Amino acid sequence: MTSTALCINQAVKTYANGFTALKGVSFSVEPGEFFGLLGPNGAGKTTLISAMAGLSRLTSGQINICGHDVQHEANITRKLLGVVPQELVFDPFFSVREALRFQSGYFGLRKNDEWIDEIIVSLGLADKANTNTRNLSGGMKRRVMVALALVHRPPVIVLDEPTAGVDVELRQNLWQFITKLNTAGHTIILTTHYLEEAQSLCNRIAMLKHGEIVALDSTQNLLDTETDLQLTLALDQSLPANLHQYLIQEDGNNYLLKLADYSQLATLLQNLQTQNINVRNLHIMENDLENVFLRLTSDHVKGEK
């Protein structure tokens, strides 16, 4: 039986000042998944990734990488995991190729040049392979960070804001390469503020808010929850009182409604027909991950202070 790629069980992290960054977070990621870990700043994503990488210890709870405990089997789990951090951390004394060879040695890999060459070409670093890393632009340094995380071919790859502040070309090159790795069986865990990336790439998504999971589902199921509907009624008619429960906004004879799911649409239309309400125009607004994200993670939603 194949173990999960990542299993997080009741992860709690409380700092010395009493702040609890993670409050019993639990979820698992299956081998070969492209998984999104989303949340606003301060939600606990970076804390969780640090614990996954063994850079910090949980107050309680457990994290397993491919069936191995991060705390008690660190020598194994560090080889199973590749992390691309948000921060640009690099050795200014090495060229790109030298840095990748050094990183290979750190994992006990010899004769790794063929894979290093493939990474360099795939990430658009071919013309910078012999350039000292301190002389690279910010975007090129970001590419090197990705290359360093992949040099030991880890089965589980964590990308923490990998395209923050980089150009469109790098984003395209990176996602082509990462998608290729995912197709080959690598598990990808992505955090990003570019929600269109998460929507198009991730099969399943977890959303964090204040250190707790507020959503965990397939991307499609998340998009299928709640639908905005624009209605235009005849000039001499108005929305019946019993349908005001769906009302978000009203402008003359134009109404914006929110439905919990598509099943409510048939009920609403039947209700309008029964009351002889003439619908001049109806438009179902396409849901996107940004709307879902804001609804689930914002501190400024209806009823919350």
- Please report, for the domain that includes residue 264, its CATH number: 3.30.70
pLDDT per position as a tens digit, 219-274 = 998 887 767 888 999 988 999 999 998 888 888 989 988 887 777 888 898 999 99
Instruction: Give the DSSP H/E element, type plus range, for residue 47.
Output: helix 45-52
Question: Mapping DSSP to helix (H, G, I), strand (E, B) and coil, where does residue 191 land?
Answer: strand
Whether residue 129 contacts residue 122, with contact meaning beta carbons closer than 8 Å, is answered with no
Asked whether residue 151 falls in the same domain as residue 271, the answer is no
Query: Tokens 């493939």 identify what position?
Result: 118
Whether residue 2 contacts residue 185, with contact meaning beta carbons closer than 8 Å, is answered with no
Total count of domains within the chain: 2
Residue 110 lies in a domain: yes
Q: Rounded CA gap, 47 and 244, in Å?
A: 43
Asked whether residue 188 falls in the same domain as residue 232, the answer is no
Largest CA distance in the chain: 79
Which domain range does residue 120 map to?
6-222
Give the pTM. 0.81
> What residues in the chain have per-residue pLDDT under 70?
1-2, 226, 300-305
C-alpha torsion sign, points 52, 54, 59, 61: positive
Residue 305 lies in a domain: no
Asked whether residue 55 falls in the same domain as residue 18, the answer is yes
Q: DSSP state, 108?
A: T
Whether residue 52 contacts residue 94, with contact meaning beta carbons closer than 8 Å, is answered with no
Instruction: Give the DSSP H/E element, type plus range, for residue 97.
Output: helix 96-106
Asked whether residue 181 falls in the same domain as residue 230, the answer is no
Q: For residue 2, what pLDDT is reported?
A: 55
Bridge partners for 209 per DSSP: 212
Q: For residue 284, what pLDDT is reported?
A: 81
Domain end position, chosen among 222, 238, 264: 222
